[in-house]
Amino acid sequence: MSKDIQELKAICKKIREDIVTMIHQAGSGHPGGSLSAAEIMTALYFGGIMDVRPEEPEWEGRDRFILSKGHVAPVLYSVLAERGFFPVEELSTLRRFGSRLQGHPHKAHTPGLDCSSGSLGQGLSIANGLATAFKHRKTPQRVYCLMGDGELQEGQIWEAALYASQHKLDNLCAIVDDNGVQLDGRVEDIKSLGDIAEKWKAFGWNVIEADGHDMAAVMDAFHEAKEAKGAPAVIVAHTIKGKGVSFMENDCAWHGAAPNDGELQAALSEIRGA
Amino acid sequence: MDKEIPMRDGYGKALLEMIPTNPNIMVLDADVAKSTRTSWVKDKFPTHFIDMGISEQDMVGTAAGLVLGGMLPFVSTYGVFLAGRAWDQIRTTVCYNELNVKLAGAHAGISVGSDGATHQALEDVAIMRVLPHMTVVVPCDAEETRKATHAIAKAKGPCFIRFGREAVPVVTGEDTPFVLGKARLCRAGEDVTIVANGAMVHEALGAASELEKEGLSAEVIDMHTVKPIDVPALLESIRKTGCLVTAEEHQMYCGMGSAVAECVVHHEPVPMEMVAIKDTFGESGTPDELMQAYGLDAAHIVAAARKAVARK
């Protein structure tokens, strides 16, 4: 599955519509970090970056995706549904009792999901384990792991960063959704990460920086990451929290809040008109 | 006198035995490979060993990923750091995903000795047995540790095995049966049941000999699997003896004794006494000094048994 940039942009719009709609229907959820990751996730699942089979979700040869920042489950659920892993109509069950779409992703329930997540800082270690297993078994799968920039405040991320470069995991591509905002405010005002790209370089990674909302640039970054050998690659994607809905953009209040009826309509018309 | 061998030797031996026939095994350690005996794997099967450095949380997460990639990881370090420091990783990544990660907590209990309280795992059984999907095993000697390690490799889902640092008497033989989840009857008796695990099994057998001199017949059960606990074996014994004592090298709250108490109050309330650490931290000392000072020896089990019998 590989689509041209215009098609990917159209899918991205649909993903954003899904995100705000399902969070509105659920009455709770995390729109800000879901919207900032829309291009990244669209590239992975629709741009031919990841090899997956919706009709055979547990296919052993599939590439793996670990959503380390588990609270942005809506963007993952949307791409999985739009890609055909489960019916798009099911998105309206998000966070409801008995739903397969838990508030934070649960592998046992959701087709296409590679691991449960929700406690921040743990995903990169899991991705490392997968990448190590594939190297040990000499199989070609690649592993992708999406982290938030605020999440990089967790120490375990940096333990895992050391491991991946020590073991030269060039079948691993991490992505930092660098939207600059965490739940309580701006990352730089709370516990600044300084120069994120320089930090990853210092930890021995191939670092690729990209505008995380420029679909072509995101695709280029993933292709460049695939070519990088001898060290793990990280894409530092410069993004805007709440991207696509002006009143949500760069506002930490929309980290974890649901739009009401009027806000949903405003958000949808803005996304559709973009 | 039984031969004395550290239980961790049984862990290392089992790993060496399994790897040739199970190429998916990967042994992880956090910079204490000599202590846990995983250095034996490092020397003999280097491609099946990863030294994670001093990063317990990362080690557990990496093990989870290894399982998702088709491997069978054995995660080894001191019990206090494995169960304690990496608890959230064990809870949310390993147990919530029901991943086949095998966790081995070494240097458990107060008998770690001179390193002092920071290194004495006395809460690990409590915080592991509370987790859904987790199996918890506390073997009594090197041979049982070897068998238990084989057993958890075959079991499905997350398992935690804990063992001590010191050489302790080997009370089981190669032919002694070991079944995960099935308590082992060590000695039959009529008047009081002593349920022990870990190094306390040997102490319980010593206590039973002492009690015999006083005319009290003690039944000794090795409750090596704390979760799932063997309810039928426990009930069969206490319905016969009418009272019991638990003995473990762990905090009194939430350990094996508590697991037994939960079973007893549900099914068959009888007088019960607990021999365990009494809600306190340990300190430096020789293993023997500490076991005696903190009430974890045969003499304390004898006293507890007398008390339990008197309450019948």
- DSSP one-letter string for B166-180: SEEE----TTS---T
Q: Determine whether the interchain pair A119/B97 forms a contact, defined as Cβ–Cβ distance below 8 Å.
A: no
How high is the pLDDT of residue A274? Answer: 83
Q: Which domain holds residue B77?
A: 4-169
For A5-273, CATH number? 3.40.50.970
Q: Can you give the residue ranges of every domain in chain A?
A: 5-273
Q: Given the residues B17, B56, B248, B249, select the one marked as catalytic.
A: B56
Please enumerate in sequence order all residues whose Cβ is within 8 A of that of B291, keeping only pairs 6 or more positions apart, or say none: B110, B111, B203, B249, B297
Same domain, B154 and B212: no
Same domain, B110 and B68: yes
Q: Using CB atoms and an 8 Å cut-off, which of residues 31-70 of chain A contact chain B?
A: 60, 64, 66
Mean pLDDT, consecutive 10-residue segments, chain A of 274 residues? 87 98 97 98 97 96 98 98 97 96 93 95 98 97 98 98 98 98 96 97 98 98 96 98 97 95 98 92
Tokens of residue A5, six digits: 């940039």
- B78: β partners: B106
Contacts of B98 in chain A (CB under 8 A): 108
- Chain A residues lying within 8 Å of B60, measured CB to CB: 125
For residue A23, what pLDDT is reported?
Answer: 98
Share above pLDDT 70 across residues of chain B, in percent, rounded to a whole number? 100
B54 is a domain residue:
yes
B144/B192 same-domain check? no
pLDDT at B156 over 60: yes
Average pLDDT of chain A to the nearest whole number: 97
Residue A2: what pLDDT? 62
> Distance between CA atoms of A175 and A222, rounded to whole angstroms?
9
Question: Of B109, B142, B169, which marks where a domain is finished?
Answer: B169
Q: Is B210 one of the catalytic residues? A: no
What percent of the residues of chain B are helix, what percent strand, and what percent coil, each to the nearest 5? 45, 20, 35
In a domain, B60, yes or no: yes
- pTM of the predicted model as reported, rounded to 2 decimal places: 0.96
pLDDT at A3: 79
User: Which chain B residues have a beta carbon less than 8 Å from that of A115?
Assistant: 64-65, 68, 93, 97
Regarding whether B24 and B118 lie in a shared domain, the answer is yes
Say whether both B24 and B139 belong to one domain.
yes
- For residue B2, the model assigns a pLDDT of 77
Assigned domain for B175 exists: no
Last residue of one domain, picked from the residues B169, B192, B224: B169
CATH code of the domain containing B239: 3.40.50.920
> Span B5-15, mean pLDDT?
98
- Based on the domain organization, do B190 and B142 belong to the same domain? no
Of the candidates B47, B61, B91, which has its C-beta nearest A129's C-beta? B61
Give yes or no: residues B215 and B251 share one domain.
yes
Would you say B134 and B167 are in contact if contact means Cβ atoms under 8 Å apart? no
What is the percent of chain B where pLDDT is above 90? 99
pLDDT at B32 > cutoff 90: yes
The pLDDT tens digits for B68-115 are 999 999 999 999 999 999 999 999 999 999 999 999 999 999 999 999
**What is the mean pLDDT of the segment spanning B255-263?**
98
- B138 with B271, same domain: the answer is no
Residue A125 · residue A159 · CB < 8 Å: yes
Closest CA to B291 of B182, B169, B203, B230: B203
Q: How many CB pairs under 8 A join A and B?
A: 111
Q: Hey, are the CB atoms on A125 and B61 less than 8 Å from each other?
A: yes
Min Cα–Cα distance to chain A from B16, Å: 19
pLDDT digits (tens, 9 = 90+) for A176-189: 999 999 999 999 99
With a CB cutoff of 8 Å and minimum separation 6, the contacts of B265 are none
Sheet containing strand B72-78, strands side by side: B49-51, B25-29, B72-78, B102-106, B159-162, B135-137, B225-227
Both B212 and B127 in one domain: the answer is no
Q: Which residues of A fall within a CB distance of 8 Å from B97?
A: 107-108, 115-116
- Residue B17 reports pLDDT greater than 80: yes
Instruction: Tell if the CB–CB gap between A163 and B55 is shorter than 8 Å.
Output: yes
CA distance B98 to B93: 8
* Residues B140, B248: Cα–Cα separation, whole Å: 10
Does the pLDDT at position B200 exceed 80?
yes
Domain count for chain B, please give it.
2
The predicted structure's pLDDT at residue A108: 86
